[in-house]
Structure 1
Amino acid sequence: MSLLSKISIHSDERSARLAGIALMLAGIGMFSLGDALGKVLVAGYPVNELLLLRAAVPLAILLTLIWRQRATLPRLERPGLQLLRMVLSTAEVAAFFVAVVVLPLADVITYYLACPIFVTALSAIILREQVGWRRWSAVVVGFCGVLIALQPSAQTVSWPALIALAGSFSFAVLMIVTRSLRATPDIVLAATQFTGTFSVGLVLAPFAWRAPGLPDLGLFVLAGCISIVALLCTNRSLKLAPASVVVPYQYSMIVWAVMFGYVVFGDVPQVSTIVGAAIIIAAGLYIFIREQQLGRGEAEVSPPV
């Protein structure tokens, strides 16, 4: 291979990584908006109802797109892994909203932001991604920033906390599985995730149902549409770049949490929150700059268009 070809491949890989980071940041921002909206809704509606209505419209849109493109879509790869991914997605969404009903949102977010630690470890073990000590250090520093910012309460030893921790681990495994299914089209990945939450909601919602008014029904639909955008961004991100590179940017969730907490719930950030957010941003920028400089790693498989 010529030197020019090597430079071109190196440049393409670096561009893919940077695009993956940008998409992860966008997806986390949308997820954070959806979480804030979901917290508002679960204050007046059962979690099962949220799972059902939040998934109904997005699933209908995605299945319509899949049906129209069915002739051009490739055969579904690794059905067993697709089913596992659907189960993991449903479990982590349900765990988040069940936990947030009981625990302070800050505590639940703390557990979910442990996800990059899990992903970094699992990506090295399962995906054989190269994770150097610098990236490990940045991930750990970012998590320390989360702890400084959120200051988990004494309730973190309760059973809802264990549910939140299980949800965080499920989300981490979900990221790893998504990375392993890079040949699956984005709309199919998103549709399988919504299928799981819709199915659970459909079975359980009749046991605890509160008829929503038109404004609240619109909020449920909006929450679902936000979730579509968030899922498409994060799924594409995991196709473009190694999981151990992009997942640490989930730490940016704390920045969004501060903003939405102030605008929506009137929460004024404490000094510790600002300090923690600054540490998180610094850790994320370090990984970003490091990837710009190196742009190296395992060979990437180009995602389908």
Structure 2
Amino acid sequence: MSDDRVLKGIGLRLLAIFFLSTMSALVKLAETRGASLPETMFWRQACALPVVLTFVAAGPGLRSLRTTRLKGHLARSLVGVVGMVFTFGAVLLLPLAEATTFQFTVPIFATILGALVLGERTGVQRWGAVLVGFAGVLVVAQPGGGEHVPLFGAIVGLLAALFVALVAILLRQLRDEPSGTTVFWFSTLTLPLIAVPYAFHLQSHDWLTWANLAAIGVVGGCGQLALTGAAKLAPVTTVVPMDYSGLIWATIYGWLLFGVLPSAMTWAGAPIIIASGLFIVWREQRLGKQQTVTAAPED
């Protein structure tokens, strides 16, 4: 693999994390303007569809959207939409930096699921990294003593990471499908599901709030496409460390938009979680195993 392709892959991954971090900030901003969670989720998917269709039409063509794996896409979509509830819920319940930090536990959950669901052999070193990672979570969450991170919000944040890891496992079954096809079916199949609760939350907004909701979908769709592009250009172990740049963006957005900075315990615990995740990814590569960690939170 050429150095040029790897550098492009790293650049795309950094761009994807910027897009997804921006989307999280917009989700939180939409709530301050009166938008509900069902509204935010609906417009996230609806406004991402034109972005995905444009990408597919300019690339492999709309015929590539045909699939014989509809059951696989449906399973991925059902798990994905539940994961979106938790991911957006964490953003609404927690400061941005803390919500982002809990997303860094995805490699930890991927290791656990790989062992329990797929029967993968997991050695002492990776189980040790899992324990270290959860120690970092305890530092950030401060169960029983932290006011900056509410316990319910921490649980929702961890569930969001768990479902991202579940989606990564389900995507293994769809790895032969074009990336645009997978993203298209995720948006298309989840829209009817989200439309039901959205119907009970219909309300009027000013134009700025509508623009905010539309931007969530457009930016989120761009983030998904950038993630898939990065995966095609560079090895997962090369691009995954770029995900931790999300903490920088979350800190900047949290300060500029909401006047909130990460707590001292978040700065103490985040490096522990990050080190655990990096070790797990590195160990997977060393063992030559197929990666279970393929993307940042899909939202």
Specify the TM-score bucket, using the shorter chain as the normaliser.
Answer: 0.7 to 0.9
TM-score (norm 1): 0.71
Aligned to 2:105, which of 90, 114, 118?
A: 114
User: Pick from 63, 70, 77: which aligns with 1:86?
Assistant: 77
**Aligned 8 A contact 1:30 1:227 in 2:** yes
Count the aligned residue pairs.
285
Cα shift at 1:38: 0.3
Residue 175 of structure 1 aligns with which residue? 168
Relative to structure 1, is the Cα distance of residues 212 and 54 closer, same or farther in structure 2, using a 3 angstrom cutoff? farther
Q: CA distance change for structure 1 residues 67 and 33 in 2, over 3 Å: closer, same or farther?
A: closer
For structure 1, which segment, 136-145 or 221-230, has the greater mean C-alpha deviation from structure 2 after superposition?
136-145
Native 8 Å contact 1:124 1:130 kept in 2: yes
1:38 corresponds, among 11, 27, 33, to: 27
Following superposition, the deviation at residue 79 of structure 1 comes to 2.2
1:234 alignment partner AA: L
Q: Return 5+ residue gaps in structure 2 as ranges.
A: 292-299
* 1:13-162 matched pairs, under 5 angstroms: 23-43=12-32, 44-63=34-53, 66=56, 69-71=61-63, 73=64, 76-102=67-93, 108-109=99-100, 111-124=102-115, 137=128, 140-142=131-133, 144-149=135-140, 151=142, 153=146, 158=152
Identity %: 32
CA RMSD of aligned residues (A): 4.2
Q: What do the CA deviations read for 1:56-88 (whole angstroms, capped 9, x no partner)?
A: 2221332455567134x2752532111111111
Superposed displacement of residue 52, structure 1: 1.8
Does the 8 Å CA contact 1:245/1:287 hold for their aligned counterparts?
Answer: no
How far residue 148 of structure 1 moved from its aligned partner, in angstroms, is 3.4
Point out the structure with max Rg over C-alpha: 1
Aligned equivalents of 1:256 and 1:139: distance in 2? 26
Matching of residue 265 in structure 1 with residue 293 in structure 2: no
Deviation at 1:259, TM superposition (A): 2.6
**Counterpart residue type for residue 259 of structure 2:** G
Range moving further from structure 2, 265-274 or 48-57: 265-274
- CA offset at residue 296 of structure 1? 6.4
Shift of 1:282: 5.2
CA 1:99–1:270: 2 relative to 1, 3 Å: closer
- Structure 2 CA distance, aligned partners of 1:151 and 1:247? 27
Distance in 2, Cα, partners of 1:246 & 1:130: 24
2:62 maps to amino acid? R
Please name the residue that 1:6 is paired with.
Answer: none
Q: Deviations over 1:156-200 (max 9, x none)?
A: 554x66555443322210011123322111111111222244323
TM superposition score normalised by structure 2: 0.73
1:200 maps to: 193
Per-residue CA shift, 1:239-296, capped at 9, x if unaligned?
67887886676555434322321222222344433344444555566678879xx776
- Deviation, structure 1 residue 225: 1.5
